[in-house]
Chains A and B, each alone.
Chain A
């Protein structure tokens, strides 16, 4: 094998493709250096110049390793490992002298493919890596079979990859999974965005600019009405004049639901958001994973969600929640910052005086929002020190956080315990996958008030000012001239359909490929009929299946090797050839029967006559057409009689 220029271009392409996805997170100087080295190698090949000397390369390598050590302050760890690997592979191209070096490069590029999945496991990444693998295989085939043109090379590579598919499927399904990720996923593997546990003007409207998926939910049975789809996240109690915070619950009393009816079961696949809270419909009663339900019904995982998790839950849509809320908690729900927002407090006190019950106050407040020309907008004006007063009496423009916050302040001023609840509302139904998808722009804030005997009751002031937000989503509630994420505002049926399809595909990928963990493997194998799903059993099955597949492939290949149409004439002739071969007179593959007979005749004159007769009969039978078939018996006799 010779290291020809086309082969070198192939190797350069392999390295380029396999490291390209890493460029985004490698240190900038490494990316630039790698590109420069590849360009240099390309130029050397193109111009036929000699490679740089080994001493120069050694110097550059040592310098690079030192620079990496300085950049990362260590030489251990995954980031450093990947960086070193890519840099060294690129340098290896510059000392490519023998076939062995090329083989090493091919293997290393295949290995670097895996490292790309540390950073992204999406479908596009997988497809790109498949393409990369194809290029690597084609280069490898190129190395092994020098004198084939591009097309047959590519065909061999494709066939090799296709043969690998059943094997990898078997390994994927049967390879025993371990609990938790095999290598520690970093916390920052996913750019996290999502609900935080504080709320200030602007928090929600910022989130509404992102169309990242927050979670997906499937319902068992009947799906609740859209205006009941309130996915509960952080519950905010404490207000300091601008920001709402969760504060600390000063009770150990477990949350209680009374007279609860209308159960709804559903499963949620939550994208990682690096915060401990889970999202459930108001109000949760059962959960499949061990999570803590706080006294204010906020559900908290035992650790931050930094990998995609799936849980099922049951919620009750009609309830009396915490009707016996302890007084110290109610006290929290009435606290207001001293001396702020005097006009709002005055207005609320006025309402309270005129009303005969808390319910009337609530109605008055909602009617106030509805009738006083409040506007629902993504871009509200800035608010001053007395933010609620400014909003209520001056600007009158706001997003859900303004309405929820102000409403709770008004209620507290009127002596009604109230709190802010944040989470997601509504969502979009994907009828292809049969699930709801909730995106960041579905983030929402609403209020809960505590009423004697009824407990915590959900009041959504946004619904009073903009019912469309609750009924049909954000796009319907805002005008056309607002810049929303592209998907949130598009009306094109094709794009909407495309989004639905892509999201359904991504969901399947998440559920079945990335989410194929111990439990799913157990469930899947049990359904396939494996009775005892154990490590030992899986390993045995794995080996058996691999042996079977390799056996099948071997058989197919052997059949190809054996002469394709091995008819009787051919078989008899080959028998003669084998006899002669044993006698040290083999036939060259391209040698015709008559030529062979003539050649043997000079070496073994004793065989000349018999062999010439056999060869002539063979040629006549094989190439002479139907008319010659009578000679078959004579030919077979001659073959049988042929002795060395």
Chain B
């Protein structure tokens, strides 16, 4: 079994229901995210549109976070999920430095690394991940990539030629796919939000990192 995700960006309408469901299900603290929906405004007025891209851990086949973890806190489980043992994590942040997708954070409450686990605890009870359940348009498709009859396998076959992964050049072989993605949605450098162009003057953020 090799579990994977596919998001059809044509269907996603940016309701952020998946974000909230994930935060509630996994009790993700403020300033940290296991799943977020990035939006990028494209075009020049009046020819504009807003794109939405749900971003989560890619559960890579060749996961840099698993490789760099000094204590195997990040490890593969038999269904292909890259899981994390928070009791073993020493908080070195090596995984944060290694993940090319910025999908791992240091939980400010437990002071350990954390990330999307495809809701491994729900899957163990034969339930779908919380974000899949919350999505009103079934843009999140989850299933076994090795089963040709699964919804995700059929979707990939049906959209052959229009299925993308993030940063394929990194050689991580993500098990997270997009349909209808492009440079603007999947390449963070193509849609950088410059500092100083905010509605509010006094923007603060919650502390995330190490010792500056």
A in complex with B: no
